[in-house]
Amino acid sequence: MKIIVNSLDLNDAVNKVSKALPNRDVAPVLECIKISAENDKLTLYATDKDLAIEKTIDANVIVGGAMLVPGRIFGDYIRNIADNGSDISLEINEDNRVFISSANSECTIGTLDVNDYPETETINGANYFAVQEINLKDIINNVIFAVATDDSRPMLKGVHFEAREYTLSAVATDGYRFAMSKKALEEKVDEISATIPSRSLSELSKLLTDSDNVLKVFIENNYLTVAMENTKLYTRLLGGQYIKYDNIVPKDFLSTLLVNKETFEKALNTASIMSRSEKNNLVVLNVEEYNMNISSTSQYGTAKENVTISLSGKDVRCAYNSRYINDCLKVINAETIKMEFAQHNSCVITIYDSDEVLYFILPVKQIV
C-alpha cells in the first residue's frame, strides 16, 4: 500500500473518525483506525462497537490496500505535521510498519493485522426516514441537553425519535426537565421509532452542516446509519422501552406570559450569577401583570433583574434551577417565547405561535 494525500484533508478525516475511538482500555484493534485505499479514494474508519464513523477523501493511490494504525498516535502525528497545501506519503514497508513522510518530517508506526478488525455494519436500506440535514442537526441540538447523565435509568441517556407520516419528533428527559422538538420529513413514513445514545447524537451533530440536502436515516437491526457527503456514522441503539411521556406535560395552566427571548435570557444570566456556586443554581421568578422580577441569593449577596412581560391569569412566584431554563433559551431561535405555569408551578416553555419546541421544567421548591 502506498498513497499520497493532502495533509489537511487527512488531518480532518482523522479528527472526525477519532471521535469513535473508545475512551477506555479495550482490545488493541479497537484503539486503531482502519485505512483503506483504492480507486484514488482513501477511507478511514474507527469504531468502539457502539459508535462508528467513516470518512472518505481524495488521494493519489499508487498501490491500494488496507492497514490498521494506532489511532491516538497516528492522529497526534498527522495533526502536528499537517500544513496548508502540503502532501503526506503513507507506505507500508516489508515489516508491516507504515512509513509516513512529508517535506520536513518522517516516522514509522507499527500496524496491526487488518483482518482482526470488526466488520462494518451493513444495511439493506428498507427502513428509513428522509430529513433535511439542517433540520436533523437542529432537532438534535434542541433536545440533547436534557438527557440523563447518570446510569440509574439507561434509556434516559438517549434521545427518543419517532417518525410518523411527515413529522419527526425527538424527546429527552432527565427526570427534572423534559424537551421535545418537531421537524418536517421529506417523505411520508408509516412509523419508525428508536432511542439513540446521546454520545452518538452529539458526534453526529458535529458532522452535520446547515445544508438543506436531504439525508436518509436508516434504522435496522438495532443500528442507526446516516450517510452524509463522504461521511457515514453508525451507532448501536439503546435497547428497551422508552418511558411513556404522553401525560408528562400538563394541559391545564393557571398563568401564561409572553416575553422577549433575548431580554429574558440576558436578565436570567445576570440574576443567576449570584447563585452559580450553589447546588441548584436557584433563581426566583416573581411574575405580575406587566413585570417579571428575577432574583437569586447566596452567601455572596443578592441580585435582581426586572423584565417587561405580558401576563394572563394569576400572579406567579416560583423557583427554578436557572441552568434548566437557560439551556432551553440557548437553542430557541425566536423573538418571543411563551411560559405557561401549571399547578405546583411546573412550567412549560414554547415559542410563541409555534410547536417546533416544547420544554417542561419542574420547580426546585414551592415558595409560600
pLDDT digits (tens, 9 = 90+) for 264-279: 999 999 999 998 877 7
Residue 26's SS3 state is coil
pLDDT for 121 beyond 80:
no
Average pLDDT over residues 240-250: 93
pLDDT of 204: 98
How many angstroms separate the Cα of 310 from the Cα of each of 53, 241, 313, 314, 336? Answer: 48, 41, 10, 12, 11
Residue 322's SS3 state is helix
Percentage of the chain lying above the pLDDT 90 cut: 86
pLDDT of 38: 96
Distance from chain centroid for Cα 231:
16
Q: What is the pLDDT of residues 108-117, one digit of tens each?
A: 999 999 999 9
pLDDT of 217: 96
CA distance 88 to 360: 52
Residue 124's pLDDT band (cuts 50, 70, 90): confident
Q: Among 3-7, 44-48, 85-89, 194-198, which is the least confidently predicted range?
A: 85-89
Task: Kindly state the cell numbers that stand for 5.
Answer: 494525500
pLDDT of 85: 79
- CB within 8 Å of 232: residues ≥ 6 apart: 53, 54, 225, 226
The more confidently predicted of residues 85 and 93 is 93
Task: List the one residue out of 165, 169, 166, 143 whose CA is nearest residue 156.
Answer: 143
Residue 280's pLDDT band (cuts 50, 70, 90): confident
Task: Report which secondary-structure segment, H or E, holds 266.
Answer: helix 261-272
pLDDT of 76: 96
Average pLDDT over residues 295-310: 93
Residue 140's pLDDT band (cuts 50, 70, 90): very high
pLDDT of 366: 44
Mind listing the domains of the chain with CATH numbers?
2-116 (3.10.150.10), 128-236 (3.10.150.10), 255-361 (3.10.150.10)
Average pLDDT over residues 164-178: 97
The per-residue b/e assignment along 74-109, b for 16 or more CB within 10 angstroms, e otherwise, is: bbebbeebbbeeebbebbbeeeebbebbbeeeeeee
Average pLDDT over residues 340-348: 95
Rounded to two decimals, the pTM is 0.93
The per-residue pLDDT of the chain, averaged, comes to: 94
How many angstroms separate the Cα of 194 from the Cα of each of 86, 177, 191, 235, 356? Answer: 43, 20, 10, 11, 20
CA distance 344 to 363: 8
